[in-house]
Amino acid sequence: MLGVFVIFPTIHALSCISMDTNSYLEIPFHIFDTDVLKQQLNQLPLNESEDVCRVMAVVDHGNQAVVVQFSNLLQGSELPTDQVAFLTVIGLDTNRNIVHYHYLEYACSNYDGCEKQFVLDHIEWLFKLEYTNLSANVRPFLLATGNWSGKCHDS
């Protein structure tokens, strides 16, 4: 007896938030409200054919806002699935003022809307993030004040 086996591939696609190419969600510090944010997230369009959902929140202390970008704007990201990356950047702008940015990125594939839930669970933490002590400690290196030579060791 000859048996025929047929294998049907399983395609697992996620529904992820997908904004226009030049769009992002900007949330000013002074009007942050979790309930309003949830409503805004629920109104954003979805792409129902993603393998991985991605989100990046950028805290811009100079503009007193958090900017949130979603999957379609993060196509070049190499963050592995189900991982979180956090980066703080402190530098000088063109007027030699110290600027601070915090980047929080997440990639997920466990359920539809996983990136939305991540934002709701963690964005408030970004608003409360304190950077004053870090900025004060980095300031002499950025402004090259004091006796710092820019070398890691004496030669």
Given a cut of 60, whether residue 86 has pLDDT beyond it is: yes
Residue pointed to by tokens 């820019």: 150
Q: Per-residue confidence at 10, pLDDT binned at 50, 70, 90?
A: very low
Express each pLDDT in 31-49 by its tens digit: 889 899 999 999 998 888 8
Q: What's the pLDDT tens digit per position in 89-100?
A: 988 888 888 888
pLDDT at position 56, please? 93
Q: Quick one: 138 exposed, middle or buried, by C-beta within 10 A (0-12, 13-18, 19+)?
A: middle
7 or 88: which leads in pLDDT: 88
Per DSSP, 8 falls in state -
From 110, 105, 40, 98, select the one nearest 75 (Cα to Cα).
105
CA distance 145 to 114: 46
CB of 71 closer than 8 Å to CB of 119: no
- Tell whether pTM > 0.85: no
